[in-house]
Structure 1
Amino acid sequence: MITIKEVARHAGVSMSTVSYVLSGKRTISEETKRRVEQSIVALGYHPNAGARALASNRSQVLGLVVPLRSGVNMPVIMQFVASIVASARDHDYDVLLLTKEAGPGEAHRVTARSMTDAVIVMDVESDDPRIPELRTVDAPVVLLGMPDDHEVLSCVDLDFATAGRQMAGHLADLGHSSIALIGSPPAVYERGTSYAARLLAGFRGEAGKRNLQASVHPCEPGYDSVAACLDEVLAPGRDTTGLVVHNEAILGTLLLELRRRSLDVPGDLSVITLCPDDVAENLPVPLTSIAVPAQELGAIAVEMVMARLAQEHAPEVRLLQPQLTDRGSTAAR
């Protein structure tokens, strides 16, 4: 492995000069800087993480807070995690995954001990108890989600309220007058998870605006829960003809149960969902959907962190507009 000593000898300078070129802590003449950089390239020198941290007073690590709570869909969560890790590596950062439900002080703990330079927080609640503490963290904090009170915080998320409105409106435009939302597991709503609450508000608002008969049914994963949920949705007198599904974990089971009941999609029942595109495309019946842009959201969260570290941007809120793809699982009534 090439060392800083060998770079210094090759460039004809001291080791401290090489360190200053790498860290930028002192002004070095352009000629000397160019000679050092040429030696670095010629020798293939790569400063190790410890050296970079000492030189920059940074850990080169991002903290990612992902509490593993009930009702969380891990395959989708891991799409976000993979995107954040890949994007962080593009900036020469590693990611420290924090999965324990450690309370509001977790961000303080990892930044105060110089374990991380910044923190990205997922699974954000509408009235999140971590928000007051996060405002006082002496490091950039970005929320992948949006609490009701997000003043002076950086947030990025899908516009779930608009997504709820679009899905209900899509069915209304096709002539459906009685629709149902099959939602996330009850625990997700009980703890006030922001994305679920915002989608539900958008769905209900659009249903009321269009004078639709609309019901809401939180649903646990598992065959028995899905079957019981469909019993409610399709109970006599409801005349439900359209489903909005906001629960990625049950989609395959839902379609199998509809088939068992000899219900055709979209002939008997239109189905539209919010989930990653690869999930919607590869189901037994490809579903019309609004995409969960996990890769894009994760990359934006990292870019926002880097901008804050470079002091290039004040806190900001970015909501991505929903993109609906029609795959033929909804039909006119």
Structure 2
Amino acid sequence: MITIKEVARHAGVSMSTVSYVLSGKRSISEETKRRVEQSIVALGYHPNAGARALASNRSQVLGLVVPLRSGVNMPVIMQFVASIVSSARDYDYDVLLLTKEAGPGEAHRVTARSMADAIVLMDVESDDLRIPELRTVDAPVVLLGMPDDHEGLSCVDLDFATAGRQMAGHLADRGHRSIALIGSPPAVYERGTSYATRLLEGFRSETARRNVRASVHPCAPGYESVAACLDEVLAPEHGTTGLVVHNEAILGTLLLELRRRSLDVPGDLSVITLCPDDVAESLPVPLTSIAVPAEELGAIAVEMVMARLTEEHPPEVRLLQPRLTDRGSTSTL
């Protein structure tokens, strides 16, 4: 393994000069810097994480807090994780994945022990108990989600309230007067998970504004749960003609169960959903959907946290506007 001593000898400089070039902690002449960089490339030198941390007082690690709780959809979660890992790599950062539901104190523990220079936090609740602590952490923190009380915090997310309004409005515009929201698993609502409650609020406000009859049905994954949920949704007294589905994990099962009941989409029942585009496109019936832009959201979260690492940057909230793609799964009455 090539060492910093060999790089110094090759470039004709001291070991401390090489260290300063790597860390940027002191001003080095452009000629010397170029000579050191050429030696690094020529020798194939890669500074180890420990040396890098000592030189810069940084770990070059980004902490990603994503508690693996009941009701989370792992394939979608992993799209976010993959985007954050890939984006962090562009900044020469590794990612420390923290999946334990540790509650308040976790952010302080991670930063106080120099395990990570900054934190991205997922699975944010509307009334999140971690919020007071996050305001006191001596490190940049970005929430991938938006709590009700986000004063002084940096957040990025999809505008789920607008998404709920748009999906209800899409069906109302096509003449549907009785629609149902098949929502996330009950545990997600019981925790007060921010994205689910915001979408529900948007759905309810739009159906009330349009004078559309609406019902809400949380749905756990699994065939029996989906079948029981459809029994409620399709009860004759409801007269349901359109479904808004906010539950990626059940989409395939839902469509298969509708087919088993000889219900055609969109001939007998219109369906619109919120999920990643690749999921909506690959289902037995491609669904009209609002995209979950996991790749974009993950990249923005990393961009925001890195901006706070390198410069003074005021807190900000970025809500991405929903993008609806019509794939023909909703009909006009």
Task: Report the equivalent of 1:53.
Answer: 53
Q: Which runs of 5+ in 1 are unaligned?
A: none
Identity percentage over the alignment? 90
25-34 or 277-286, which deviates more: 25-34
111-120 or 23-32, which deviates more: 23-32
Task: Report the equivalent of 2:292.
Answer: 292
State the Cα distance separating 1:331 from its structure 2 match.
0.6
21-30 or 214-223, which deviates more: 21-30
> C-alpha distance in 2, partners of 1:185/1:290?
19
State the Cα distance separating 1:24 from its structure 2 match.
1.6
State the Cα distance separating 1:9 from its structure 2 match.
0.8
How far does the alpha carbon of each residue in 1:160-189 deviate from its partner, in whole angstroms, 9 at most, with x for none? 000000000000011101000000011111
80-89 or 27-36, which deviates more: 27-36
How far does the alpha carbon of each residue in 1:286-314 deviate from its partner, in whole angstroms, 9 at most, with x for none? 00000001111111111111001012521
Q: SS in structure 2 opposite 1:301?
A: helix
> C-alpha distance in 1, partners of 2:180/2:31?
70
Q: SS in structure 1 opposite 2:26?
A: coil
Q: SS in structure 2 opposite 1:47?
A: coil
State the Cα distance separating 1:209 from its structure 2 match.
0.6
> C-alpha distance in 1, partners of 2:195/2:24?
42
State the Cα distance separating 1:33 from its structure 2 match.
2.0
118-127 or 3-12, which deviates more: 3-12
24-33 or 200-209, which deviates more: 24-33
> C-alpha distance in 2, partners of 1:312/1:106?
24
State the Cα distance separating 1:26 from its structure 2 match.
1.8
State the Cα distance separating 1:14 from its structure 2 match.
0.8
> C-alpha distance in 2, partners of 1:95/1:27?
29
Q: SS in structure 2 opposite 1:139?
A: coil
Q: SS in structure 2 opposite 1:157?
A: strand
State the Cα distance separating 1:197 from its structure 2 match.
0.3
State the Cα distance separating 1:29 from its structure 2 match.
2.4
TM norm structure 2:
0.98
State the Cα distance separating 1:37 from its structure 2 match.
2.0
RMSD: 0.9
> C-alpha distance in 2, partners of 1:130/1:331?
44
How far does the alpha carbon of each residue in 1:252-293 deviate from its partner, in whole angstroms, 9 at most, with x for none? 110011011111000000000000111100111000000001
State the Cα distance separating 1:34 from its structure 2 match.
2.4
State the Cα distance separating 1:23 from its structure 2 match.
1.1
25-34 or 64-73, which deviates more: 25-34
Q: SS in structure 1 opposite 2:165?
A: helix
44-53 or 166-175, which deviates more: 44-53
Q: SS in structure 1 opposite 2:300?
A: helix
Is 1:324 the equivalent of 2:332?
no
How far does the alpha carbon of each residue in 1:42-77 deviate from its partner, in whole angstroms, 9 at most, with x for none? 322221212111111001111111111111111111
> C-alpha distance in 1, partners of 2:29/2:247?
59
> C-alpha distance in 2, partners of 1:42/1:269?
65
> C-alpha distance in 2, partners of 1:31/1:250?
61
> C-alpha distance in 1, partners of 2:256/2:33?
65
State the Cα distance separating 1:3 from its structure 2 match.
1.5
> C-alpha distance in 1, partners of 2:21/2:229?
64
TM norm structure 1:
0.98
> C-alpha distance in 2, partners of 1:277/1:86?
20
State the Cα distance separating 1:237 from its structure 2 match.
1.4
Q: SS in structure 2 opposite 1:216?
A: strand
Task: Report the equivalent of 2:156.
Answer: 156
> C-alpha distance in 1, partners of 2:282/2:31?
58
> C-alpha distance in 2, partners of 1:112/1:144?
22
State the Cα distance separating 1:31 from its structure 2 match.
2.5
State the Cα distance separating 1:215 from its structure 2 match.
0.4
Note the 1:1-333 alignment, pairs <5 A.
Answer: 1-333=1-333
> C-alpha distance in 1, partners of 2:294/2:5?
43
Q: Which runs of 5+ in 2 are unaligned?
A: none
State the Cα distance separating 1:38 from its structure 2 match.
2.3
> C-alpha distance in 2, partners of 1:86/1:34?
28
Q: SS in structure 2 opposite 1:46?
A: coil
State the Cα distance separating 1:113 from its structure 2 match.
0.3
> C-alpha distance in 2, partners of 1:61/1:215?
45
Q: SS in structure 1 opposite 2:76?
A: helix
State the Cα distance separating 1:236 from its structure 2 match.
1.4
How far does the alpha carbon of each residue in 1:190-234 deviate from its partner, in whole angstroms, 9 at most, with x for none? 110000000000000000110000000000111111111111111
State the Cα distance separating 1:90 from its structure 2 match.
1.3
15-24 or 164-173, which deviates more: 15-24
State the Cα distance separating 1:99 from its structure 2 match.
0.8
29-38 or 248-257, which deviates more: 29-38
313-322 or 190-199, which deviates more: 313-322
Q: SS in structure 1 opposite 2:83?
A: helix
> C-alpha distance in 1, partners of 2:141/2:125?
16
